[in-house]
Structure formats: structure tokens, C-alpha cells
Amino acid sequence: MAIRVECVEGLYSLVEDDAPIQEANGYLRALNLRGLSPLTVRAYAYDLVLLYRWLRANGTTLRELTASRLLEFIGEQRTAAADPRSINRRLSTARLLYRFHFSADIDRDRVSLPAPHYKGPGRERVLGLHRLPRRRALHLRVKAPHKLVEPLTPKQVREFLGHLTRYRDLAIVHLMLLCGLRSCEVIRLAMHDVVFGDRQIRIQGKGSRERAIPLPDTLALVLRQYFQIERPKRCEFDRLFVVLQGPRRGSPMSAAGLRSLFRHRRLIALLASANAHRFRHTFGTDMARAGVRLPVLQKMMGHADAKTTLQYIQLSMADIAEEYQRAIAEIDKRYGRK
């Protein structure tokens, strides 16, 4: 059935056969009024598309939604090979939509809910900054496996940089590798955000949180070369990165254009995992290896929660192997085997 997302003047809505789905659109308008970023509202909208397609296909309304019916939704999502984290996000979207309209939680009938893990009294064990919340019934979720994101190796970074032929592209990759910027933050950068005199870059991050990052000498040199050689002299747009050729020359670089920069290089076997987020993760890992303290790294990466920063500085398999070999060498000496 023809349920789709429409965007008019930056406002997202759901349409079914050219008729608006008021139930969903009221919720999306509320998200917009709360000041959530357009990308966040867009993600909610596409989650709602999948939910409403499933509701219509099964002859179910939002009012009739229960936890046992959501199990059927989970089954369909698993059949479609959806990522467990995506499924959990869609379940959360369904709960929030239901609560928005009916001021109540979805009925938890005949389902196996996750058991709350008892951590004992006191403070959270990793950081020790937060008191543990009281036990409560958990929401319906699927088990999401923990994935260790490996940073790029020095050889991969050198290989990737060696395949770039424009100063613009070099500047983009350096912003992720040396400053830890997200893709959306790179695209939003304006000319006045780069302050050569103060040697810093001003960044508009998630949730409209602003931060400043020092401007590395390598990046400053590449940016100057981009300005002098490649960027159109009479560009009517203030965006830092623009299209350099074709009919859109001088127009702001799009998210699709930035993705293509990485997609084409990933065709090389050594660079198959070199996506934009992997460069940001490599920045976080390199900073942690260099001894940067957690609060400082959290500020540099623009994280609202320190727990998110911890995920970026978990030891990689290469780190574990290196430490293991060092320890084994010491153990061998202790027992006189070397």
C-alpha cells in the first residue's frame, strides 16, 4: 500500500494514497515543535512508515496495539533481516506514538519481557558518576549483539588518503580523522566556522550543541589550498564544502555527495571498511591511546553522555593482541623460558 514520507519546507509527514495520516503527523509535528533536529524527525517518520504499513497489512489500528501484537511486528522485521538495533528503535517509536495519543503505555499481555538486571545498590559500575535507578519492568526489546567497531589501521588511512585527488576531499577526511566530526557536521560547516586566526573550528553538533575544536596545522594547510585552487571564487553559498564540477558547481555539498566520496574508495579491498564513521571512531581511539582524558574526549566528540564516549575507546582487537604479546613475553621471562 502507498504509505510514504513527504517533506514540505523541512516538515515531515506521512501520506497514504495522497491522504495525510493525521495520527502519525500530529506526533511528528510535536517532535518538530520540541526542536528535534530534522534528521531525527526524519528517522521517526520512516520508522512510522514501517509501523503503519504493518498495521494496515494486518488490519490493526494503533488503539488495538498490544505487546503480543508487537511480537508479530518483530517477527516480520526479523524476516526482513532488519538490524536488532533498528528493530528496537522502531519498537520505541511505536511506544512513544501510542503514549502520545492515549497517555498510557502499551498493554503488556502474554509476552516475555526482558528481566531487569540487578546491579546492586550504589553507583553505576563503569563511571561511578550516577546512582543506580530503582528496578522497573523493562520494555519489549530484541537482543542486540555487542559489536566491536575496529578503528582503521595506519596502512588503511595512508591508502585512503593516497586515493584522494582533491583538496576538498582531503579536508573532509581530515576533519573526521583529526577532529572527530560527524558526516552531518562536516556538511553543515560554514566558511565563518573556520577561524584561522584563533586556530579553531566551530561546530554545530547534535541537539544544537556547539563546540570548538583546535585547527590542526595539516588541516589548515589543506583548507587554504582548497580555498585558493578549487573552491569557486564567486560562490553565492556560505557552506564550506561545495560541488566542484557539473551543473551544480558552487552548490552546497549534499549528504549523498559525501557518501559517494567514501563509497567509491571502499571498492578497494583494503578499504572495504573505510566509511565516514570509521574515521571518526579512529579519531576517538587515537585520542584515547594518546592519553586524552575521558571528559576532554567527550567534549571534543560532542557527546552528551560520557557512556557514549566509552564505546569509542573500547580496546580494539589489535590493542588486545599487542598487550597480550607484551604480557606473554614478561611471563616467559618469569618462568625462564627466554
CATH code of 80's domain: 1.10.150
What are the distances in angstroms from CA 99 to CA 105, 107, 228, 336?
6, 11, 54, 67
What pLDDT, on a 0 to 100 scale, did the predictor assign at position 279?
92
Least confident span in 8-17, 125-134, 322-331: 125-134
Q: Which pLDDT tens digit goes with each residue over 144-179? A: 777 766 888 899 999 999 989 999 999 999 999 999
Is the pTM of the predicted complex or chain greater than 0.75? no
What pLDDT, on a 0 to 100 scale, did the predictor assign at position 12?
93
116 pLDDT band, cuts 50/70/90, is low
Domain end (from 242, 276, 310): 276
203 vs 197: CA distance, rounded Å: 16
pLDDT at position 134 over 60: no
Percent with pLDDT over 70 in the chain: 87
Instruction: Please calculate the CA angle 164-169-172 and round it to the nearest 5 degrees.
Output: 130
Residue 174 lies in a domain: yes
pLDDT at position 196 over 60: yes
Contact between 288 and 297 under an 8 Å Cβ cutoff? The reply is yes
232 vs 242: CA distance, rounded Å: 9
Question: How many domains does the chain divide into?
Answer: 2
What pLDDT, on a 0 to 100 scale, did the predictor assign at position 132?
60
Dihedral over Cα of 169, 172, 178, 182: its sign: negative
DSSP 137: P
Residue 250 lies in a domain: yes
Residue 283 lies in a domain: no
What does the pLDDT average to over 11-18? 90
Residue 173 lies in a domain: yes
What pLDDT, on a 0 to 100 scale, did the predictor assign at position 227?
94
What pLDDT, on a 0 to 100 scale, did the predictor assign at position 48?
95
Contact between 304 and 293 under an 8 Å Cβ cutoff? The reply is no
- Residues spanned by the domain of 214: 154-276
Residue 198 shares a structural domain with residue 93: no
What pLDDT, on a 0 to 100 scale, did the predictor assign at position 108?
74
54 pLDDT band, cuts 50/70/90, is very high
